Amino acid sequence: MPITFATWNVNGIRARAEQFVAWVERDHPDVVCLQEIKASPDKIDETLCQLPGYWCYWHGAGGYSGVSLLFRRDSFPAEPRFHHPSFDHETRIVAADVALGSLNLTLASVYVPNGGKDFAAKMEFLAALERWAGELRAAGRGLLLGGDLNVTRTDQDVHPKERKKNAIGQLPEERERFAGLLRQNLVDVGRALDPDNAELFTWWAPWRSMRQRNIGWRIDYVLASADLAARASACRVLADVGTSDHAPVIATFEVGG
């Protein structure tokens, strides 16, 4: 049984509402992680808050942050139990515990701080995310995480014209934190399935036709526990969807009956 798991930094759900609904109607993802929704639940249109056919959880306090997690009811007949890790702040992470086939998993939508205003807070969030992933691993739970992690794993994940050794998002200490997260038995699904693609980007600066020229960064990821990642059959960047400065990423897993 294939399950599709998607993540998208919408950069404001109210500005992208029609695009979001059109994309969901087109691709019918089983799980949707959204970041930077920039709206509290009471400010989100009812057609989104109760998106037909989905269990929906909106975790936003307005401002520039906020995340959401949606499950297609056909694939998840019982409403998932939504929760927040203790390190959540600025409405940056929401999780849910589910069973997929024989796998007991925690699924999460994550929006890591950019770090431009408070780099220390970004590093602490990444460290806390790593500890949490380690706790789940120790408890025998798998993890499937989607989100804007605001870190490029390597120089391969940055267009040559955008590589800057002192740029936040490309710093060695950030990449080491990312590596520490992956050491918690997690796999970067997009890169695992497309290891040599030097043009695999998910974010483009919104000027000088950067998206059209594909001069970007890869900072949006699907990370999966190794046993689940081994069942991944695809992980695509949907550069044709929406007007956010980020594109959705959607992965397909074969999880059995």
The residues, any chain, with a CB within 8 Å of residue 192's CB and separated by 6 or more, are 229, 232, 235
Residue 46, pLDDT score: 85
User: What are 123-134's pLDDT values in tens digits?
Assistant: 999 999 999 999
Give how far Cα 144 sits from Cα of 96, 173, 189, Å: 10, 24, 10
Domain borders along the chain are 2-254
- The answer to whether the predicted template modeling score (pTM) of the entire model surpasses 0.85 is yes
Dig out the tokens for 77 from the structure. 């007949």
Sequential pLDDT tens for the chain (257 residues): 899 999 999 999 999 999 999 999 999 999 999 999 999 999 998 889 899 999 999 999 888 899 999 999 999 999 999 999 999 999 999 999 998 878 899 999 999 999 999 999 999 999 999 999 999 999 999 999 999 999 999 999 999 999 999 999 999 999 999 999 999 999 999 999 999 999 999 999 999 999 999 999 999 999 999 999 999 999 999 999 999 999 999 999 998 75
- Comparing C-alpha atoms, which of 178, 242, 173 is closest to residue 204? 242
**Per-residue exposure over 61-84, b if at least 16 CB sit within 10 Å of its own CB, e if not:** eeeebbbbbbbbeebbeeebebee
Fold of 2-254: Deoxyribonuclease I; Chain A (3.60.10)
Q: How far apart are CA 145 and CA 147, in angstroms?
A: 7
221: nearest Cα among 210, 212, 232: 232
Strand order in the sheet with 31-35: 54-59, 67-72, 31-35, 2-9, 249-254, 232-237
Task: Dump pLDDT digits (tens) for 30-56.
Answer: 999 999 999 999 999 888 989 999 999
Cβ-contact 131, 123 below 8 angstroms: no
Separation of alpha carbons 135 and 20, rounded Å: 33
Contacts of 52 (CB under 8 A, 6+ apart): none
pLDDT of residue 101: 79
Angle at 114 between CA 116 and CA 133, to 5 degrees: 135
